[in-house]
Amino acid sequence: MRIGVAGIGKMGAAIAARLIEVGHQVAVWNRTPGKAKAVAGARLAASPFELTQRADVIISSLTDAAALDAVYKGPEGLLSSSVAGKLFIDMSTVLPATEVALAEAVRAKGGAFVECPVGGSTGPARQGKLIGLVGGDANDVARAKPVIEQLCRRFEHAGPVGSGAVLKFAVNLPLMVYWQALGEALALTRRLPVAPERLMDLLSDTSGAATIAKVRAPGVAAMLKGGDPGPVTFNVDGGIKDMKAMVAEAKSRGVTLPVLEQTLACYEETKRHRSGAAEISTVSAYWADRGKQ
Ligand SMILES: NC(=O)c1ccc[n+]([C@@H]2O[C@H](COP(=O)([O-])OP(=O)(O)OC[C@H]3O[C@@H](n4cnc5c(N)ncnc54)[C@H](OP(=O)(O)O)[C@@H]3O)[C@@H](O)[C@H]2O)c1
């Protein structure tokens, strides 16, 4: 199949590489062209418009609503000509209303649209083991399913467009709280005579841990000793962006999220003292030693 990937960030790069590996003809476009060039085996498109011309299915994985707007609706955007017969799958984490508006814009140009925000990071994306949280009309979803299933180990059709975005918030909310909770647990243990590696190995092996903890435990242990966490797959800024979207969505639904709101403030403090570009588990390391800073 001819597939285009718009947005060759951390996730887009892994998604494109996976699709090439399973035999698709993949074209890529990224605002910063150097990153797109790094995807071995992909054809480079000079603009989002050209990407649409070269593909039947176009996947986007972009930071936020502003990025989606620029890439879909800009002068040389994905939708700058008729897209009749083409299927768009957006895998970004954004507000449900953003996905609904995007779906309307795609349909107005004659295309089909499915949202598929994902659970899992770059490793699962590269291995086709993401969790796909799908929203869309049944026919469009059926069309998207074979491609999504090559990227995802689990496929959940949540309902119409916007439903996948809500499920994605439900997946991410406890995870955002987890990194903060881990930091607080570590703060309690800092005077114990247990090596950081052993402590993280223990904590990540218990029912109090998030699934990702095992993968990130060595990086957190390294940070507790003043070292580097290793490759950044999701950063503090990404967490803050997602939590702000969750708070906004909750407000529009008349729901309060007291723990998440406090967690957001804790991440913002981490960003001020460390960096928004830092690996997300930096939140745990920062709060573990906050008393000492
Ligand atoms: N990383 C994860 O573990 C993970 C997991 C699940 C879901 N997600 C979601 O997946 C999406 C992508 O995440 P990521 O980690 O791959 O982020 P990333 O590495 O920061 O990449 C973001 C992408 O968006 C592009 N972009 C941002 N603003 C733009 C604009 N105004 N115009 C055009 N392009 C723009 C960037 O282009 P440039 O390269 O030019 O900056 C880049 O291609 C986000 O919505 C994120 O929340 C991430």
Q: How confident is the chain (293 residues) per 10-residue block, as mean pLDDT?
A: 97 98 98 92 97 97 97 97 95 98 97 98 96 98 98 98 98 98 97 96 96 95 96 96 98 97 98 97 97 70
Taking the C-alpha atoms of residue 73 and residue 104, their distance in angstroms, rounded to an integer, is: 12
Query: How confident is the model at residue 293, as a pLDDT?
Result: 58
239 CB less than 6 Å from ligand 1? no
107 CB less than 6 Å from ligand 1? no
* pTM value > 0.85: yes
139 CB less than 6 Å from ligand 1? no
164 CB less than 6 Å from ligand 1? no
On whether the CB atoms of residues 24 and 47 are closer than 8 A, the answer is no
What letter does residue 187 receive in the DSSP assignment? H
Ligand 1 mean position, distance from CA 203 (Å): 30
Burial of 167 (0-12, 13-18, 19+ CB in 10 A): buried
Taking the C-alpha atoms of residue 25 and residue 250, their distance in angstroms, rounded to an integer, is: 40
8 CB less than 6 Å from ligand 1? yes
Percent helix, strand, coil in the chain (nearest 5)? 50, 15, 35
Residue among 98, 17, 87 nearest 52 (CA): 87
Query: How confident is the model at residue 93, as a pLDDT?
Result: 96
What letter does residue 77 receive in the DSSP assignment? -
Residue among 23, 11, 25 nearest 56 (CA): 25
Ligand 1 mean position, distance from CA 133 (Å): 18
